[in-house]
Amino acid sequence: MKKTVLLSVMTSSLLMAAGYKVPEQSINSMALGAAYVAHTQGADTAYFNPANMAFMEDAQFAEVGLTWAHLPRNEYEGVQAYSATEIYPANNKSEIENLQLPFMHYVAKPIDNFRWGASLTVPGGLTKRWESGHQKIAAEEFTLKVIEVNPVASYKVSNNFAVGGGLRLIYSEGIVKSDGTGTVKPIKREMEGDTVEFGYNLAMTYKPTSDINMAVTYRSNIDLGEEGEANLYLLGVGNQYDASVTVPLPAALNLAISKTWLDKYTLELVYEKTYWSAYKELNFEYGTPIQSALVTSFDDAKARDWGDTDTFRLGLTAKVTPRVTLMAGYAKDETPLPVKHASYELPDSDADIYSIGVRIKANENLSYGIAYLHDEKESLTVSAAEANSHGIIGKFTEGGADLLTVGVGYTF
């Protein structure tokens, strides 16, 4: 299909935490595990807290960089139950994936109490592939590319209070394939498409003292209204249909506080609330009735019933010399996915996130850095008592993500 792809890919990959959603979009944010909201300092301030642009030096700031994301295999041990009498061994491993995610940030000089900036980021990207077994029937390939352009502005209300916000322009494209040819489920689908959507973000920062920052940021919910065509096959015979679906990109709220000592050491704590409860079901609609044998797999509404999630982040920054800054972070990330609705395209679970990085000032204008983040997923066990809606009875292990970021910053 031309556009409906995004609905499944976006919600089953990008928007999940840790390994698929990528909130870290700069050197500093990667090194701090996204505990980087209250105490932002460089060009990436435009993305993480535009209100803080009001407190930056009277100069222009730019940063460019690239993140390599390595997604290890998901391993599954268990069975696939299509009914009470159709139960098959289903031990398998997904494919290893490697992605490249670029980013760019810019903050202009202030104009009186106003300032503007912009960011170009890839806040999510995934290829999840199962090339064999019963998993291929559901998720032969789920591929997603997302690009976000985020122009922002700030206003300094007073010397210790500022507000900011901007427009989120999202372009995404993806591929969804599933193939049961030669199995007990001889059905197949091929979808690919793109979409453009809009949202907004808001921010404010209050500095009760010179060494304490308190910040709030908010990214709006974006409903993805997808329309296009779907190619659906039964026993090798395919038909094309007009198709549509709407899926929410949930709102996210960040509350952050930072404390700096001796102008060298900064500790930041961030609480993030993501409003996943907006995702109730996945429901494709077609312009004409599809083949009756495909209704259960491709037409019936699929319950999601996700829950709101809490993520806690802690970051430490240390200026060990005038030229060298070290950073480290930890986060506890919660999955919104009920075990009842766990699936092969999204075997998600809670995660522990560890990060570290260094930034070096080459001269008064130029700096560069490198950061590494490790996302460690907990195992996910789906018992028969869960009555999983996809017929999964077994255990997922491994998965997670490893991310390496390099970048260059320039002040002029």
Look up the CATH number of the domain holding residue 361. Answer: 2.40.160.60
C-alpha to C-alpha distance for 204 and 157, rounded to whole angstroms: 10
Residue 19 pLDDT more than 70? Answer: no
Q: How many residues does the chain have?
A: 412
What is the spatial distance between Cα 167 and Cα 372, in angstroms, rounded to a whole number? 29
Mean predicted confidence (pLDDT) in 306-314: 94
Could you give the count of Cα atoms lying within 13 Å of 155 in the half-sphere of its Cβ? 5
Decide if pLDDT at 243 tops 70.
yes
* Residue range 135-175, pLDDT digits in tens: 999 888 877 777 899 999 999 999 999 999 999 998 877 77
Q: What are phi and psi of 355, to 5 degrees?
A: -145, 160
Beta strands in 180-308 (DSSP E): 187-209, 212-219, 222-234, 237-249, 252-261, 265-274, 281-282, 285-286, 302-303
Provide the β-strand partners of residue 146. Answer: 172
Percent of the chain with pLDDT over 90: 64
**Cα–Cα dist 92/347, whole Å:** 13
| pTM as predicted | 0.90
Pairing of strands 92-93, 281-282: unpaired
| Domain range enclosing 61 | 5-411
Going by their DSSP bridges, the two strands 237-249 and 285-286 should be labelled as antiparallel
Cα–Cα separations (whole angstroms), residue 271 to 143, 216, 315: 30, 10, 12
The structural domain count of the chain equals: 1
- Rounded to an integer, what distance in angstroms lies between the CA atom of residue 117 and that of residue 264? 27
204, 256 Cβ separation under 8 angstroms: no
- pLDDT (mean) for 58-77: 95
Q: How far is it, in rounded angstroms, from Cα 99 to Cα 127? A: 8
- Please state which of the ranges 106-120, 287-301, 324-338, 362-376 shows the lowest mean pLDDT: 287-301
Residues contacting 118, CB < 8 A, separation 6+: 46, 105, 106, 149, 150, 151, 152
Give the pLDDT confidence score for residue 59 in this predicted structure.
Answer: 97
Cβ partners under 8 Å of residue 198, min gap 6: 167, 168, 169, 170, 222
